[in-house]
Chains A and B, each alone.
Chain A
């Protein structure tokens, strides 16, 4: 009698568990399918398109092998764009990181003013790229009715950095970094604050100086966050688009051309979707390498 009941209930439980498992797949499916439709399938299509001469409209694009890649690698502009992405990466790994970490450490001991500074530093970060870029373009970099124009009228030898081939890239990066660094302050500060107070007190009682306190007590605790931000900055530096396209469209004379604007021009100015796809694929390769590092670092960060 008891065995029969047990078997019957096990059958019912089994059915229920199977039903639950189906429900779990059903809960995961919408997110996966949506992402597949918008990201994965088009990404695979890009990988195929890169080997064709597709113009975005024709229904019978011809297979051209690695011709698109050969042409891109032979194009001086591709290498120039890549070089700009590397400069961009170096700039973003230094200026905002130093500002972000410096301010985070300063705010760590300022309990009362901390939240006010956080809000101020973060404000440019939450505003739209379009708004930020147009504000800088019109009221600061503007050589006639902007701050630059005003200083020129006062007799200063100054010009819009965006108009000069040697400074345009830095002029664009300055706006993007102005909008970005406050984000790092907030992230670093949150990480620093998770350092156990007892360890900080113990070290302070031992009479360590400020640098030793940061180096030996705080830094080990925030290392995974610092590493993660490092990888994210590298990834997003290779994808940088918004501020560049809004401020200069890659000009003047390609002095701010990046891989992203280079690919965008192929697709939407000259309708060479095959070539655009090839550049996209190269960018994807950089992204993929960084993604692997990112996945590795963040998994380690989550599991540690």
Chain B
């Protein structure tokens, strides 16, 4: 390789680097503004939201914690997320197994039903569902809403898990069946350990969707005691728009844990997001 080529190659890559760095800054800038301003007194934010803090003001976090109802919101969000994840795994796992093996005649119909259910607008079933939930006295019930959110996550979860089960060779299942293992035992002792990465991926995606949910939770959870963390933070909007420090601190409370968990579990999240769209 001659010297000129060695120089020319990095030069040819330069425009690409510029584009990538610019887009990375665009993606991160709003979130960095949150971190910068969460520690600044409000007058400093008004003066220049782009400047670094001159002193560390932690009082915003205190006010955000109190007025964003995080003390009840975070446990509610955890309960909602846990309910959704458990219900999704317990129902989608066995269903995906049956769908992956085409074991019974209704499998193709069920498959098409779940594909359709994935793209149905929430507004198509929200209003009668609201009336039914209200009549059952389950409004403001976090667990009930967790089950509803789980039902909405079922189609994509089944679709993802099915591809994991399809990768398991028939011989393994046949060997177990010949040895006299029942379907349930095959599922529990042989398929579950093999499909574990798939279950973790689906659990994380469903959990993320539950944690981030807005339309369903804001419709069904309206009492202050039942608000999720994001909905509690939302109540600060409008009344606290003059207290930018508290708003940014509240946003930081919500952003930082999710960002950290995302960094730790990014492999599973990327797998789950890609799995539904790219054939493996």
Contacts and interface: CB of A to CB of B under 8 A. Distances in A.
Interface of A: 20-21, 23-25, 27-28, 30-32, 34-35, 37-43, 45-46, 49, 56-57, 99, 102-103, 106-107, 110, 113, 115, 117-132, 134-140, 142, 144-147, 149-150, 178, 182-183, 186-187, 190-191, 194, 224-225, 228-229, 232, 235, 238-239, 241-242, 245-246, 259-260, 263-264, 267-268, 273, 276-277, 279-281, 283-284, 287-288, 290-291, 294-295, 298-299, 301-302
Interface string B102-113: 011010001011
Contacts of B247: 134, 138-139
Contact of A121 (B24, B92, B187): B24
B37 interface: yes
B277 A187 contact: yes
Contact of B262 (A123, A132, A224, A238): A123
Interface of B: 16, 19-20, 23-24, 26-28, 30-31, 33-34, 37, 42, 45-46, 48-50, 87, 90-92, 94-95, 97-99, 103-104, 106, 110, 112-117, 119-132, 147-148, 150-152, 154-155, 158, 182-184, 187, 208, 211-212, 214-215, 219, 230-231, 233-234, 237, 241-242, 244, 247-248, 251, 254-255, 258-259, 262-263, 266, 269-270, 273-274, 277-279
Nearest to B24: A120
A19 to B, nearest CB: 8
A56 B129 CA distance: 10
Contacts of B208: 126
A126 B262 contact: yes
A144 B152 contact: no
Contacts of B122: 239, 241
Contacts of A34: 87, 91, 147, 150-151, 154
A38 B120 contact: no
Given A35-B114, A127-B212, A284 B124 contact: yes
B273 to A, nearest CB: 6
A136 B262 CA distance: 21
Nearest to B253: A131
B241 A138 contact: yes
A40 B22 CA distance: 45
A292 to B, nearest CB: 8
A2 B231 CA distance: 72
B46 A147 contact: no
A102 B123 CA distance: 34
Contact of A273 (B104, B127, B154, B279): B127
Interface of B is mostly: helix
B215 to A, nearest CB: 6
Contact of A38 (B28, B95, B125, B258): B125
B214 A295 contact: no
B45 A145 contact: yes
Q: Which of B30, B37, B119 neighbours the largest number of chain A CB atoms within 10 Å of its CB? A: B119
A34 to B, nearest CB: 5
A187 B278 contact: yes
B221 to A, nearest CB: 13
B28 A39 contact: no
A43 B27 contact: no
15 contacts: A34-B154, A56-B127, A129-B214, A131-B233, A132-B30, A135-B248, A138-B237, A140-B33, A142-B244, A225-B278, A241-B122, A267-B127, A294-B119, A295-B116, A302-B279
A124 to B, nearest CB: 6
Given A35-B114, A56-B131, A239-B122, 12 more contacts: A39-B151, A42-B125, A46-B127, A121-B24, A126-B208, A135-B255, A145-B46, A147-B50, A267-B127, A273-B128, A280-B127, A295-B115
Contacts of B114: 35
Contact of A42 (B16, B92, B132, B277): B132
Which 6 pairs across A and B sit closest by C-beta, in order of nearness?
A: A31-B95, A38-B151, A42-B125, A27-B94, A45-B128, A128-B212
A49 B119 contact: no
A37 B152 CA distance: 11
A178 B127 contact: no
B30 A99 contact: no
A28 B95 contact: yes
A46 B124 contact: yes
B210 to A, nearest CB: 11
Contact of B121 (A113, A140, A183, A260): A260
B183 A23 contact: yes
Contact of B37 (A57, A139, A260): A139
A138 B128 CA distance: 35
Given A131-B233, A178-B26, A126 B258 contact: yes
